[in-house]
Amino acid sequence: MTTILHLDSSARPGRSGAQPHGSHTRRLTARFLERYRQLDSETEVIYRDLGAEPPAPVTGNWVHAAFTPPAAREPWMAEVLAQSDQLVDELLRADIIVAGVPMYNFGPPAQFKAWIDNIVRIGRTFGFDRARPGEPYWPLLADAGKQLVILSSRGDYGYGPGQRLEGLNHVEASVRSAFRYIGVEQAFSAAIEYDEFGDERLARSIAEAEQATDRLAEAIAARRAPDAARRVA
Ligand SMILES: Cc1cc2nc3c(=O)[nH]c(=O)nc-3n(C[C@H](O)[C@H](O)[C@H](O)COP(=O)(O)O)c2cc1C
């Protein structure tokens, strides 16, 4: 059984190609899920629409509660951490995290960042001990074999490696850094560009990103499901 945590974070509700003004990242995450499920029939999906229901941003009380050892927590602290605990539980159950993360002002949307802030949790996804020699922080999800797929979209173009706006793209790098910090090292990505132009370059970019998304689903399924490689061939 493979568990996929499917996250969408676009503020736009529908999918491009299916609904007017729909989201490209929702289109790509749905495409990944569809292709993956064709190849691995034993798939369970946990869905979180962070765009429709953004997690609460962390507060002073949240920080106080999270950094209080569980045995010393007061009842109000459990309440403050309840949503974060649920988001962490979902992440811990997942083998694959498929995240739709549009570029908003050069980084991930605030709703996705709020999710990150809620799942990077001391004692649950990372460890910290200031007395520990060498490395006081350590990842708790290392060796869990989790894989991350980041599916993005941008209005402009040229944000890829070696391209004109590479230095302004803080989407994939920041998401990968947070996941690496908690121990998820295997990360893959694909992105659509030219959304603001709406011309044939956008159409080409969508087609290429869809192909890349299919290839990612196939490669990951081939490693997880014994008969998936045969189905792809
Ligand atoms: C609030 C906001 C900020 C944006 N900032 C950028 C940006 O910094 N660079 C860029 O190329 N496109 C930017 N865009 C365009 C989006 O990245 C583009 O429309 C993308 O397709 C959105 O993802 P979605 O289609 O899944 O909704 C922005 C869009 C919005 C709504």
How confident is the model at residue 165, as a pLDDT?
98
pLDDT digits (tens, 9 = 90+) for 131-179: 998 899 999 999 999 999 999 999 999 999 999 999 999 999 999 999 9
pLDDT of residue 233: 64
What is the best residue among 154, 166, 172, 202 to mutate for testing ligand 1's pocket, by most ligand atoms within 8 Å of CB? 154
- The residues near 5 (Cβ < 8 Å, ≥ 6 apart) are 46, 48, 90, 91, 93, 94, 96, 97, 98
* CA 192 to ligand 1: nearest atom: 21
Centre of ligand 1 to C-alpha 108, Å, is 9
| Probe target for ligand 1 pocket from 156, 172, 195, with the most ligand atoms within 8 Å of CB | 195
Residue 44 alpha carbon to ligand 1 centre in Å: 30
Q: What pLDDT score does 175 carry?
A: 98
Place of tokens 């495409």: 31
Question: Which amino acid belongs to residue 158?
Answer: G
CA distance linking residue 180 with residue 15, whole number of Å: 29
Which pLDDT does position 40 carry in this prediction?
Answer: 94
User: Nearest-CA neighbor of 127 among 119, 136, 118, 114?
Assistant: 136
Ligand 1 atom nearest to 103, measured from its CA: 17
Interatomic CA distance for residues 37 and 170, integer angstroms:
30
Domains of the chain as residue ranges with CATH: 2-232 (3.40.50.360)
Nearest CA to ligand 1 atom 27: 23
Per-residue pLDDT of the chain (233 residues; tens, 9 = 90+): 999 999 999 999 999 999 999 999 999 999 999 999 999 989 999 999 999 999 999 999 999 999 999 999 999 999 999 999 999 999 999 999 999 999 999 999 999 999 999 999 999 999 999 999 889 999 999 999 999 999 999 999 999 999 999 999 999 999 999 999 999 999 999 999 999 999 999 999 999 999 999 999 999 999 988 777 667 76
Q: Coil, helix or strand for 177?
A: helix
| Ligand 1 closest atom vs CA 24 | 25
Which residues line ligand 1 at a C-beta cut-off of 6 Å? 10, 12, 23-26, 102-106, 153-156, 195
Q: What per-residue confidence (pLDDT) applies to 85?
A: 98
What is the residue with the minimal CA distance to atom 12 of ligand 1? 155
Q: What is the largest CA-CA distance in the chain?
A: 59
Cα(59) to ligand 1 centroid in Å equals 27
